[in-house]
């Protein structure tokens, strides 16, 4: 029911669907009810009382007797005039009933398709919205392929089950009710007989469908793992080939693919068993009706008004009851399978957003004085990463962070734009805690250049002007020139309109990094965060990128993370981190003068290298 809530407002879909379905059901039953006058016309002799009964047109009334008598009145007059005309009349009415059944059924299915498509659209939108607002730490625990599977195959399962659920609620029960009303009108005694076996078959079907959910859960989880393997393989093909790991990856995929296949087969066997069981039950009921109803006619039971024509019409209508009953069984099996997919979807949607704007948050208008970290403490789960970190980054100055991997340098950089929130202490900008600012306005004043360049499968222009679809070419070119990227850009096939491929694969490492810098320049931030921006480059590329970074840093407040000490010697303050604490701080000259200082040892090691 929560999943169907994404179809709100229901009225614009379900009310027309319900009305159209009722009309379709009415014409459907009507076409089979016409078998009675047709069969009676063909095989029954005219009764002496018919001339008296149908010689006068009946008075209008809103009840079934009027419509039956009026139909028989018209049929009788046609029959007495010319029997062939009466036959044409019955055939024409049957054709109109069939057209009405299929026309309204088609229009109802169109409404159903719109409803289900709208539902899928809203669920995908809801998941994607949530994913884009979750804290960064969430993505270190979840597999990307699994998230893709939830937005793709799980939503597909829900769409399929939703149409079944809607029909199970708004179509099939009413169709069955209408059929049984018609059956009771033909023969109450025979209809009561048919109802005896239905609860028995329903219990059997319920036992079969109960186990579907477990297989569906295994299937959906396996699909997520398989998407992850595919994604990792496509993005790491060079590494896989260079380490001769192709066989290992193929085996890994094959095992997961085998498990997924087994899950599908298990689910299919149980899914198909339920309708097969219901069909067997239906045949048993029909056979029982043939015996019981046939005996009523053969013995000419005086308590029964059942005629051969009525009995055949009864069989025809009851045969139609099996269709919606079977459809309802399929609906419930689909809903059971969908349950697992729905739970996986809601698991993402229900994940709490740990970093969000406070109700009283204000927009950050400008940056005028300083950024201050005060007694910061932060950790992932039980592990403390940062402990009592305090420093000041004045406007227009540069602070550098160095230390071995895993000491929390990148975590400090992630805390400033509120990718995470501090657990103790505070970070202030111009004396205001950053949690008091709206995140969009806070991040508007910052730019990032990282070691792992993130580029999109789009043009160079759109990568530089990310998030600014109305950017002008002059501003983009100016940013590219500052980043030392303009020369290589104009040498590409279509210049700034060249598509760079998935993650910028058509460019070299240095070119990708300079595009990242151009993107940061274009944003024109007051605060700049550089995370190992040159560590993965060759000497020539590093020089070009370093020049671009120097251009970018002019007049900006910069937080730098670096392993290469040559890139931070001009920093206004260098912080040396170890075990989550700041153990040394000062300018380059001050730190190398310390006899047993960690910074001095790092400097000597890099010189030896």
Given a contact cutoff of 8 angstroms between Cβ atoms, the answer to whether 292 and 190 are in contact is yes
Q: From the CB of residue 83, how many other CB atoms can be counted at a distance below 10 Å? A: 12
pLDDT digits (tens, 9 = 90+) for 91-114: 788 888 889 889 998 898 888 888
45 burial level (CB within 10 Å; 0-12, 13-18, 19+):
exposed
Predicted pLDDT at 430 = 92
Q: Note if the bond before 268 is cis, omega within 30 degrees.
A: no
Q: Which CATH class is domain 370-608?
A: alpha beta
pLDDT mean over 520-524: 84
pLDDT mean over 59-87: 68
Q: Which of 165, 166, 194 is nearest to 179 (CA)?
A: 194
State the pairing for strand pair 424-429/370-380. antiparallel
47 pLDDT above the threshold of 60: no
Predicted pLDDT at 125 = 87
Predicted pLDDT at 374 = 94
pLDDT digits (tens, 9 = 90+) for 232-247: 777 667 667 756 777 8
Residues above pLDDT 70, as percent of the chain:
79
Nearest-Å Rg of the Cα atoms of the chain is: 38
Size of the chain in residues: 609
Tokens of 375: 């007694």
pLDDT mean over 222-236: 76
Tokens of 434: 């950053």
Edge-to-edge strand order for the sheet containing 383-394? 383-394, 370-380, 424-429, 432-433
CB-facing half-sphere around the CA of 609: CA atoms within 13 A: 9
Gap between the Cα atoms of 309 and 314, Å rounded: 9
609: pLDDT confidence band, cut at 50, 70 and 90?
very low
Gap between the Cα atoms of 386 and 142, Å rounded: 24
214: pLDDT confidence band, cut at 50, 70 and 90?
low
Tokens of 22: 């009722």
Q: What does pTM read for this prediction?
A: 0.65
Gap between the Cα atoms of 609 and 602, Å rounded: 11
Over the chain, what is the mean pLDDT?
79
608 pLDDT above the threshold of 80: no
200-204, 214-218, 224-228 — which is least confidently predicted? Answer: 200-204
Tokens of 513: 């990094």
pLDDT mean over 206-223: 66
Q: Where are the domains of the chain?
A: 4-349, 370-608
303 pLDDT above the threshold of 60: no
Q: Which of 154, 150, 168 is nearest to 112 (CA)?
A: 168
Task: Provide the 3-class DSSP secondary structure of residue 429.
Answer: strand
Q: Which fold has domain 4-349?
A: ABC transporter transmembrane region fold (1.20.1560)
Question: What values do phi and psi take at 128, rounded to 5?
Answer: -65, -40
Given a contact cutoff of 8 angstroms between Cβ atoms, the answer to whether 342 and 158 are in contact is yes
pLDDT digits (tens, 9 = 90+) for 531-568: 876 655 556 666 777 777 777 788 889 898 877 776 78
pLDDT mean over 260-285: 71
DSSP class per residue in 7-38: G-STHHHHHHHHHHHHHHHHHHHHHHHTHHHH
pLDDT mean over 333-355: 81
Residues above pLDDT 90, as percent of the chain:
10
Specify the residue for token string 């067997």.
280
Q: Which of 331, 317, 4, 16 is nearest to 175 (CA)?
A: 317
């Amino acid at each position: 029911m929560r999943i169907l809530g994404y179809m709100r407002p229901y009225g614009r879909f379900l009310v027309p669907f319900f009305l159209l379905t009722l009309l379709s059901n009415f014409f459907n039953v009507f076409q089979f009810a016409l078998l009675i006058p047709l069969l009676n016309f063909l095989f029954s002799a005219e009764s002496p009382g018919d001339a008296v009964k149908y010689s006068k047109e009946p008075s209008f009334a809103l009840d079934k007797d009027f419509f039956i008598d009026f139909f028989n009145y018209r049929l009788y007059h046609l029959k007495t005039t010319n029997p062939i005309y009466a036959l044409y009349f019955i055939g024409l009415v049957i054709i109109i009933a069939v057209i009405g059944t299929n026309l309204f059924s088609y229009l109802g299915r169109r409404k159903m398709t719109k409803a289900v498509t709208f539902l899928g659209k809203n669920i995908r939108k809801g998941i994607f919205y949530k994913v884009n607002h979750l804290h960064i730490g969430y993505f270190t625990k979840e597999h990307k392929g699994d998230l893709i599977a939830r937005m793709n195959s799980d939503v597909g399962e829900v769409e399929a089950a939703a149409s079944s659920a809607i029909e199970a609620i708004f179509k099939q029960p009413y169709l069955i009710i209408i059929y049984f009303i018609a059956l009771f009108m033909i023969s109450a005694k025979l209809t009561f007989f048919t109802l005896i076996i239905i609860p028995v078959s329903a219990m059997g079907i319920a036992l079969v469908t109960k186990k579907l959910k477990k297989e569906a859960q295994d299937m959906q989880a396996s699909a997520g793992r398989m998407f992850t393997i595919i994604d990792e393989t496509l993005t790491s093909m060079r590494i896989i080939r260079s380490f001769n790991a192709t066989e290992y990856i193929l085996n890994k995929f094959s095992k997961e693919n085998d498990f997924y296949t087994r899950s599908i087969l298990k689910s299919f066997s149980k899914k198909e068993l339920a309708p097969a069981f219901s069909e067997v039950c239906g045949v048993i009921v029909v056979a029982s009706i043939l015996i019981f109803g046939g005996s009523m006619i053969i013995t000419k039971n005086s308590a029964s008004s059942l005629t051969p024509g009525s009995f055949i019409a009864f069989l025809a209508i009851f045969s139609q009851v099996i269709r919606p009953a079977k459809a309802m069984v399929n609906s419930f099996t689909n809903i059971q399978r969908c349950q697992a997919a729905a739970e996986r979807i809601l698991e993402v949607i229900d994940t709490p957003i740990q970093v969000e704007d406070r109700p009283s948050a204000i927009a950050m208008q400008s940056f005028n004085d300083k950024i201050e970290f005060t007694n910061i403490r932060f950790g992932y789960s039980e592990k403390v990463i940062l402990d009592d970190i305090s420093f000041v980054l004045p406007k227009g100055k540069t602070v550098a962070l160095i230390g071995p991997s895993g000491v929390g340098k990148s975590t400090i950089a992630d805390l400033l734009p509120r990718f995470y929130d501090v657990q103790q202490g505070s970070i202030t900008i111009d004396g205001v805690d950053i949690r008091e600012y709206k995140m969009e306005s806070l991040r508007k004043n910052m730019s990032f250049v990282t070691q792992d360049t993130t580029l999109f499968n789009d043009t160079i222009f759109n990568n530089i002007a990310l998030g600014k679809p109305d950017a002008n070419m002059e501003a983009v070119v100016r940013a590219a020139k500052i980043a030392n990227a303009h020369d290589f850009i104009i040498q590409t096939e279509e210049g700034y309109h060249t598509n760079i491929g998935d993650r910028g694969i058509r460019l070299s490492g240095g070119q990708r990094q300079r595009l990242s810098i151009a993107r940061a320049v274009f944003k024109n931030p007051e605060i700049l965060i550089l995370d190992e921006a040159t560590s993965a480059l060759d000497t020539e590329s590093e020089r070009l990128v370093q020049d671009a970074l120097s251009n970018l840093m002019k007049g900006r407040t910069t937080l730098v993370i670096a392993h290469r000490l040559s890139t931070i010697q001009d920093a206004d303050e260098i912080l040396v981190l170890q075990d989550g604490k700041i153990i040394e701080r000062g300018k380059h000259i001050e730190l190398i003068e310390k006899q047993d200082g960690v910074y001095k040892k790092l400097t000597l090691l890099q010189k030896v290298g």
